[in-house]
A and B are shown apart, each in its own frame.
Chain A
Amino acid sequence: MRKIKFIDATLRDGSHALKHQISRNIVDEYCRGMDGSGVEAIIVGHGNGLGASSLQVGLSLEKDEDLLKTAREALGSTKLGAYLIPGFGTIKDDIDPALELGVDLFKIGCHCTEADTTRQHIEYVKFMDKTAYGILMMYHLASTEQILEEAKKMQSYGADGVILMDSAGASTPELVRKTIYRLVEALDIEIGFHAHNNLGLAVANTYIAIQEGAEIVDGTLRGLGAGAGNCPIEAVAALLQKEQYDLCLNLYQLFDVSKEIVAPLMSPPYSGLDDISIVSGMSGVFSAFKVHVMNASREFKVDPRDIFMELGRQKVVAGQEDKIVEIAERLQKGEIRR
């Protein structure tokens, strides 16, 4: 049976859930705990990737470089990975310093219809002889044929694999099945799936992706992540193990890190699958908007769910957090009908 790879985004997607307040200490403890557990790589840095610490999406407590350096020192056999969205980070300011610090693997992401904006970065990472995965975010917003076309572009740039991100947790199981099937059938590189749990489907959708031929599970321990969180790696790993998949994971090690290091981070105000996250999934809006929607809702005294519904109606994409303030203000003035 195929070997399944796990990419651990706990520190990266969890950065959203913790309002980008992940400290060097947490990174150190987490990486030491997870090293040698069998996950392929641990991704470190701001939730929106290297260089994304900003007023638009949230300022980080620590510099990406300091977090990467801490992780590098703590990791032995497990690879160190970083995420980058062109338009947020750049080769000069972010990829070069990350290479210098010893990052082994890069995930280069973009909105699901904009793969050509990742060409420079994927080609550069491959030129530097490192692993590069192409990431298509918010994949529920495009047709399967278009996703296929964009994934093929990433393959042509030299990507080692393509990972679909269900960034809004808006996917139905049928959509996962259909899309992954098409990609696996048409591409020669690895395919992966990154779920969000806004509609309570993260484990199920990830499992379906694997059934259809995906080889990479991109998830987080305990599901720590933006909005309602991600696919809990330990749960899907247990499920796959039960179904006789070849994993090479130390399941108990995952359980222990989840319980001892991740669970304490999730103490209140961490809210998981609440009404706001469900509405985010229902309206198909990027999960990480939640914190900013709550802020704007307080500032302009409007219902956060109304903000999400309007954002969904306007089909905003990741990185468009500035729409939130505008919509909140217009809701307050009564210029937008609920």
Chain B
Amino acid sequence: MDKINVGIIGTGNIGTDLLMKISRSKVLQCAIFAGWNPDSKGIKLARRMGIVTTSESIRYIQNNPDCCDIVFDATSAKSHIYHAPILKELGKFTLDMTPAHVGRFCVPVVNLAEALNQDNVNLVTCGGQATVPLAYAIAQVAKVEYLEVVATIASKSAGKGTRDNIDEFTQTTKDALMEVGRIEKAKAIIVLNPAEPPITMRNTIYAIINDPDMGRIRQAVGEMEQEIRKYVPGYKIILGPVLENGRVTTTVEVTGSGDYLPQYAGNLDIITCAAVQIAEKYAREKMGRKL
């Protein structure tokens, strides 16, 4: 069967991890790996894999508009705001990996179908991908008065994009908890930890619920964990949900598959897995229509 061509802009941690995952896909193939720096680690790796690369970033796609149908933008929030209208003009199905939030949020386990009708889909943040599903699951079975998430990631797994965009990262994660997670009042906190060996990505979700039915909450959270594990195998609840000090607390660790960065970088996996999941679904529907 033919594969659908994709382009990746941004050759940092996220872009390179996407490349590794796409190279295994049955329905996607990377037709162009684009950045500005011809000597980046990611671009060198792509060249070794025999992938077409360019140091002209989005300009390559503008000059070769037929090179791909789907574009992953793994640059920065600032750059995506510039790229988004260009990609829309070119008619590309765009998966925005930055916290720019130009298009609608997508957390596949909650609203995949909706995303496929958009021309620009925002992947929220790694913290958002890890916690929005649980917030949504809890909100389905309990009236959540307030919900808060704390995402802690290893310093080594936070690339330049994440660091330069920490403000958007914090804001966007909160927005997604409210919009996609259906939480009325939410807060997001992001912490980087430089400990060696690097820590595995962990996310804690606190919920304030009046008289919580812990049985139903446990079941809902457990079911959601299983759903996510279908596309992020390293997703694991390590604490709770437990009622302690007046709050319902759940902690989840995300171990990466170790495609590009080592396994501690579950934060890469959870967002790249989600993006590839959306792109594959889109590709299958597109190919289905052709048949």
- Residues of chain A whose beta carbon lies under 8 Å from any beta carbon of chain B: 52, 54-56, 86-93, 110-111, 113-114, 116-117, 119-121, 141-142, 295-296, 299-300, 314-322, 325-326, 329
List 23 A-B pairs, Cβ < 8 Å: A55-B146, A56-B148, A56-B150, A56-B189, A87-B192, A90-B167, A90-B170, A91-B167, A111-B194, A116-B164, A121-B167, A299-B245, A316-B195, A317-B193, A317-B194, A319-B191, A320-B193, A321-B150, A322-B152, A322-B202, A322-B204, A325-B239, A326-B251
Q: Is B194 within 8 A of A114, CB to CB?
A: yes
Bound Cα distance from A300 to B191, whole angstroms: 25
From the candidates B155, B167, B195, B245, name the one contacting A86 in the complex (CB within 8 A): B167
Query: Does B242 count as interface, using CB distance less than 8 angstroms?
Result: yes
Residues of B within 8 A of A325 (CB): 239, 242, 244, 249, 251
Q: Is the interface of A mostly helix, strand, loop or mixed?
A: mixed
B187 at the interface (CB under 8 A from A): yes
Would A320 and B152 count as touching, CB distance under 8 A?
Answer: yes
Binding site for A on B (CB under 8 A): 146, 148, 150, 152, 155, 160, 163-167, 169-171, 187, 189-195, 202, 204, 206, 208, 238-239, 242, 244-245, 247, 249, 251
Q: How close is B150's CB to chain A, nearest CB, in angstroms?
A: 5
Interchain residue pairs A-B with the least CB separation, the first 9: A322-B204, A87-B190, A319-B191, A315-B195, A55-B206, A113-B194, A116-B163, A117-B166, A86-B166
B204 closest partner in A (C-beta): A322
| B167 / chain A contacts, CB cutoff of 8 Å | 86, 90-92, 120-121
Which residues of chain B come closer than 8 Å to A121, judged between CB atoms?
167
Task: Considering the complex, give the chain B residue whose CB is closest to the CB of A112.
Answer: B194
Please state if A55 and B247 are interface contacts (CB–CB under 8 Å).
yes
Q: Take A55-B148, A87-B170 as given contacts and tell me if A111 and B245 are in contact as well, using a CB distance cutoff of 8 Å.
A: no
For B244, what are the chain A residues with a Cβ–Cβ distance below 8 Å?
296, 299-300, 325
The answer on a CB contact under 8 Å between B189 and A88 is yes
Q: A90-B167, A315-B193, A325-B239 are in contact. Are A114 and B155 (CB under 8 A)?
A: yes
Residue of chain A at shortest CB distance from B146? A55
Nearest CB on A from B106, distance (A): 22
For residue B249, which residue of chain A has the nearest CB?
A325
Q: Which residues of B contact A91 (CB under 8 A)?
A: 167
Contacts of A322 in B (CB 8 A): 150, 152, 202, 204, 249, 251
Q: With A and B bound together, what is the CA distance between A113 and B165 in angstroms?
A: 17
CB distance from A327 to the nearest CB of B (A): 10
Task: Report the Cα distance A270→B191, complex, angstroms.
Answer: 28
B170 touches A86 (CB 8 A): yes
> Once bound together, how far apart are the Cα atoms of A89 and B189, in whole Å?
8
Contact pick for A56, options B163, B202, B204, CB 8 Å: B204
Cβ B148 vs Cβ A120 within 8 A = no
With a CB–CB cut-off of 8 A, which chain B residues contact A90? 167, 170-171
Q: CB distance B245 to A295 under 8 Å? A: yes
Query: Closest CB-CB distance, B273 to chain A, in whole Å?
Result: 24
Q: Is there an interface contact between B206 and A56, defined as CB atoms closer than 8 Å?
A: yes
